Every structure is written in structure tokens, then in C-alpha cells.
Amino acid sequence: MLLPYTFIDPDTITMKTCLRYGWLFLLLMIPSASIRADSLEKLIMPGPVIQGHAKVENQCSKCHQIMSSASQNPLCLDCHDKIAGDIKTQHGFHGLNKNLGNKECQTCHIEHKGRQTDIVKLDERMFSHEQTDFHLQGAHKTVNCGQCHAPGKKYRDAPGQCHSCHEKNPHDGKLGKDCAQCHSQTTWQVMKFDHDKTKLKLTGKHKEIACDSCHINNQYKDTPVDCFSCHSVDDVHRSKNGKDCAKCHNTTAWKKLKFEHDKDTEFKLLGRHKQTTCLGCHPKDPYKNKIEKTCISCHKTDDAHHGNYGDQCQGCHNAEKWNQIHFRHDRDTKYALTGKHEKTACTGCHKGSIKNRIETKCIACHKFDDVHKGSQDGKCQDCHTTSSWKSDIAFDHDLSRFPLIGLHAMTSCNDCHATRYYRDTTKKCGDCHKKDDVHKLRLGPACEQCHNPNGWNVWKFDHDKQTKFRLDGAHKKIDCHACHKSPASHGIELGQSCGYCHRSDDPHNNQFGQMCEQCHDTETFSNIHMMR
């Protein structure tokens, strides 16, 4: 029995249509056992599948749930697991496109249209790349799709990394594959790389230099970040100051030092020290070799004292000039410098080490200048001042055992002191005035008994009071030499009897003895008055 002819439009055939008429085909095929099982599936198949599905074309159950109206999407996603992953993780076109919702895959991808049928049906002009994981920005918006999507390959397999398309670049792969770290999608020349996020923050002059100044031959990996690695050729210190340039210099300019000796060390730079070069004090690496902070450690060769004054140079000198000495002897010691002492060089008194205590007595330094040869017990200050040895002599003779009065006060020292021993000078008048003695020592050496320093002619002697022989009568008028006839070097020793002087005038030839006063008086020998 022939079945009525029914025309089925291949464009409208669905799986349900196949199932509806499928039993008729089964009845027709039952009598022929030799017909293969897949012939039936081909018999009811609306048309050939695409080349990609050809290997499962005879296995309808791979794509269709027979005799069921349930969604066929799970079967599709079983094979297209990448699409399933995109949907699950919300990536790619199928995972990001919310318009798809729960639509059946076959809504967009209609099969059984032949081996060469395009079931993707992508309209490149209408397709929005925003519905993918790779949004087109900058220059990418004007690029033809074929430049990124190779022919014969799935769109989803197009690489999303810069280096995949831009493998050929000036860096030759030396900067890695993350091009986006430096470049933007607008143009290669516009850099967005932030060097400050690396181990070396660019400051000062570093901002102005080209990349290849530090990254030679596009070598960016393991580029050193220490100053010395790049600036060793600029190191005027020739490595003597170490390799940590940043301790002294900054990135603005080499000559602008950021190192502050006053703040960064325990030694403040004062005076000439500020103008001294680093190598002047640090001949070697200052950061490895500790140097002494004492003046003498640097100025040993400048020490005019040859170490005799110790190593505390700052006690006398300052950092401005060696010749500007701030040491004040009168303030800093117990011995004030006055007169010529102020201009005397230190070595004039301090012959040896300053540690050796020196005497403050004048004679300690002026022993060789002592014209008195020690006769004054070294008490130079009793007569002299520090202004001059020969002038401004301040000796007060009145405080000595021989005060100067009268003409003595006007007399030169040399008139009495023939030598400069002074102490051996006699105090006796006769020793100095021997030539002036008109008495020829007949009145003895004690000139002061009659005379005073106001003048030889100004004299006064009271024989009645100053001797035991009272002058009266004719004795008052006679010359001193009439009685004092012989020199009396050791003092006057004259007899007091009349006969001692008048023996030659005695007409009695000493017959009446020496006591003339028994008959005579002192007026005249002619006056006789015999004592009863």
C-alpha cells in the first residue's frame, strides 16, 4: 500500500516533524533486514550537517533527545565544553551576552543545511566587540577583523595578548610579553608605563633621559638600580668614596650635594673646612674607613709646634685660619700676658712640650738676660715691667734699706752702683764720697753725723749733744781740724783731757798734771783761777 505523498519543506523541517513521520519510515524499513541502522537516521535527517559535525552525523542522540521536547542545549554544551565554560564563568560572547538568556542554541545556529553552511552567521559590520572579553580601544577599532582572526580558525581562538599579534617589536622580547605595562592601544609611541612603580623611582634628571640610556640594547630585565652601575664613568672620586652615590648626591645634578656634614655626621664643618674637598679629609673610602675627628689627625704635617703643644689644636686655633688664635693667656691660664709678652711667640716661653709645666717667675725665662747675675734673687718684677728691661723701671728705693732723699733721689743709679749686682753696694757715705771728703777722714767715716743729702754745705753738728765733750769758751771758735788732726777710719777716738790737745802749749811741762781746768778755763790760758 502506497503512502500518500507528502511534501516536506527542508527549510521548515524540525526534529518534531521527523519524529511525527518517523514511524512510517520504520514500517517501510522493517521488511529489509539488510539495511544498515544508520540508513534510517539518514532517511529521516532533514539535510547534511556542517563539516564540523560530520563525524557525529549518524548519531542523532549526540545532538537530539529522541522522543523528548526537553532543551537540547545540554547536549550541545557537552561537546562545546569551552562555550559551557564561558557561560558558567560569564566570559566570552556566550557568557557576557545577557540577551541570549535560555535560548536554544539552534535558535542562532541552524544545522542540516549542508557541509559548507555557515551556522555562525556572524555579521562583522553589526557585531559589537564589547560583547567579548576583548574590548576594542584606540587603534584596534580601525583594524580589520582578519588581522586578528586568522581564516579557518574560530573567532574565540583569537589571542587576547598584545605579544601574540605584536610579536615582532623593537624590544625583541627582552621586555617580556606584557606590552600593556608601557604601551596603550592608541599608539605605540604613547607610553603609559609608570617607572615609579618599579624598584627605581625616576626623579630629577632621570625623568628626562631616554630609556635606552639605562637599558642598553633593550635589556630591561635585571637592570641594576644602584647609581654606581650607571655612573661609574662619572665618578670623579674613582671609587674612593664608595659606591653609594646617593648618600651625597641627588638626581637633580651631581654638583648639588644633598649630604649635610653637620646633620649627617658628628663633625660639623666650620670655616675653611666648608671649602675643603671631601678627598682632603677622606683620602680613602669614608664609609668603610673611620677617620679620627681630632685636628692633629689631619693637620699633623701643618703642626708648627711639632707635637709639643699636644693634639688639642682647637684650644688655640679656629677653623678660619691657623694664624687667628683665639686662645687668651690671661683668661685661659693663671698667667696674664702684658707688655712685650703679648707679642712674644708661644715658643719663646714654651720650649718643649706644653704638658711640661713651666715656672711663671721672670727669672725662669730671663735667666740669660739677667744682668744682675742672680744677685736680686730673681725678683725682676720688683724693678722691671713687661714693657722694657731698660725703661719704666719701677724700683722704689725708699722701700729698701737705703731710702733716697735729697740729692740722692736725683742721682743716677750708676753713680752709686758701679756694677749691676746692686746688693754689694755699700751704704756708707765715705765709700761713695771719699773724693769729696775735705776732712780727709779726720772727722771719721760717718759723714751723716754732720751732713745730710741736701748738700755738703748744709750741715749741722751739735758737739755738746752728740759727743761727751762740751764745747765752750774758745773751743767754740776753733776749727774742727784743730782737734781732729789725724784720719779716723774706724771712728773718732780723741782724749777729753786738756793735756791731750794742749801738751805742746803747757809751760809747766806736765809738772802740774793733765787737769789744766783746775787753774785755767776755756776762755783763755791767761785766766787763772785756782781751785781751793
pLDDT at 30 over 60: no
32: domain range? 1-121
The three cell numbers of residue 347 are 715658643
CA angle 83, 87, 90 (to 5 degrees): 125
Residue 324 is predicted with a pLDDT of 82
**Which H or E element spans position 455?**
strand 455-459
Residue 28 is predicted with a pLDDT of 44
pLDDT at 467 over 80: yes
Is 240 buried (19+), middle (13-18) or exposed (0-12) by CB count in 10 A? middle
pLDDT at 4 over 80: no
Tell me if 63 sits within 8 A of 75, measured CB to CB: yes
The three cell numbers of residue 134 are 576583548
Residue 40 is predicted with a pLDDT of 65
Which residues touch 163 (CB under 8 Å, ≥6 apart)?
169, 173, 177, 178, 179
% of the chain beyond a pLDDT of 70: 91
| Alpha-carbon span 155 to 146, nearest angstrom | 10
CA angle 501, 507, 511 (to 5 degrees): 90
pLDDT at 10 over 50: no
Provide the 8-state DSSP code for 140: G
Residue 249's DSSP bridge partners are 257
What is the count of structural domains for the chain?
1
DSSP class per residue in 309-346:
T-S-GGGTB-SS-TT-B---HHHHSSS---GGGGTS-H
Q: Which of 462, 461, 444, 458 is nearest to 406 (CA)?
A: 458
The mean pLDDT of 69-94, rounded to a whole number, is 89
DSSP class per residue in 242-298:
-S-GGGTB-SS-TTSB---HHHHSSS---GGGGGS-HHHH-SS-TTTS----SHHHH
Residue 8 is predicted with a pLDDT of 40
82 within some domain: yes
90 within some domain: yes
Of 67 and 6, the structure prediction assigns the larger pLDDT to: 67
pTM above 0.95, yes or no: no
Residue 354 is predicted with a pLDDT of 75
pLDDT at 111 over 60: yes
Helix (H, G, I), strand (E, B) or coil at 30: coil
Tell me if 235 sits within 8 A of 228, measured CB to CB: yes
pLDDT at 33 over 80: no
pLDDT mean across residues, the chain: 82
The mean pLDDT of 171-194, rounded to a whole number, is 81
Residue 103 is predicted with a pLDDT of 87
% of the chain beyond a pLDDT of 90: 10
Question: What values do phi and psi take at 80, rounded to 5?
Answer: -90, 65
23 within some domain: yes
pLDDT at 20 over 80: no
Residue 528's DSSP bridge partners are 520
Residue 309 is predicted with a pLDDT of 82
SS (H, E, C) 142-192: HCCHHHCCCCCCCHHHCCCCHHHHCCCCCCCCCCCCCHHHCECCCCCCCEC
424 within some domain: no
Question: pLDDT, tens digit, for every residue of 273-322?
Answer: 988 887 788 777 665 667 888 888 888 888 888 888 888 888 888 888 88
* Cα atoms found within 13 Å of the Cα of residue 158, Cβ hemisphere only: 18
Q: C-alpha distances in angstroms, 135 versus 139, 144, 192?
A: 12, 14, 18
Question: What values do phi and psi take at 456, rounded to 5?
Answer: -65, -35
b/e burial code for range 281-293 (CB count within 10 A of at least 16 → b): bbeeebeeeeeee
* Cα atoms found within 13 Å of the Cα of residue 438, Cβ hemisphere only: 6
77 within some domain: yes
| Alpha-carbon span 397 to 400, nearest angstrom | 5
DSSP H stretches of helix in 409-448: 413-416, 429-432
pLDDT at 21 over 80: no
Question: pLDDT, tens digit, for every residue of 400-439?
Answer: 888 999 999 988 888 888 888 888 888 888 888 888 899 9
The three cell numbers of residue 498 are 786738756
Question: pLDDT, tens digit, for every residue of 128-175?
Answer: 898 888 988 889 988 888 888 888 888 888 888 888 888 888 777 777
User: Which band of pLDDT confidence, cut at 50, 70 and 90, is reported for residue 27?
Assistant: very low
Q: C-alpha distances in angstroms, 148 versus 144, 172, 188?
A: 8, 21, 17
Residue 285 is predicted with a pLDDT of 64
DSSP class per residue in 337-360:
--GGGGTS-HHHH--S-TTS----
Which residues touch 124 (CB under 8 Å, ≥6 apart)?
145
Residue 463 is predicted with a pLDDT of 92
Question: pLDDT, tens digit, for every residue of 35-64?
Answer: 454 556 667 788 899 998 999 988 888 888
| Alpha-carbon span 451 to 441, nearest angstrom | 14
CA angle 518, 520, 522 (to 5 degrees): 120
pLDDT at 26 over 50: no
Residue written as grid cell 641594576: 224
Residue 531 is predicted with a pLDDT of 59
| Alpha-carbon span 208 to 403, nearest angstrom | 97
71 within some domain: yes
SS (H, E, C) 499-532: HHHHHHHCCCCCCCCCCHHHCECCCCCCCECCCC
100 within some domain: yes
Tell me if 498 sits within 8 A of 520, measured CB to CB: yes
4 within some domain: yes
Which residues touch 253 (CB under 8 Å, ≥6 apart)?
204, 205
Q: C-alpha distances in angstroms, 185 versus 140, 150, 157, 179, 352?
A: 7, 21, 21, 10, 85
Rg of the chain over Cα atoms, rounded to whole angstroms, equals: 70
User: Which band of pLDDT confidence, cut at 50, 70 and 90, is reported for residue 19?
Assistant: very low
Helix (H, G, I), strand (E, B) or coil at 452: strand
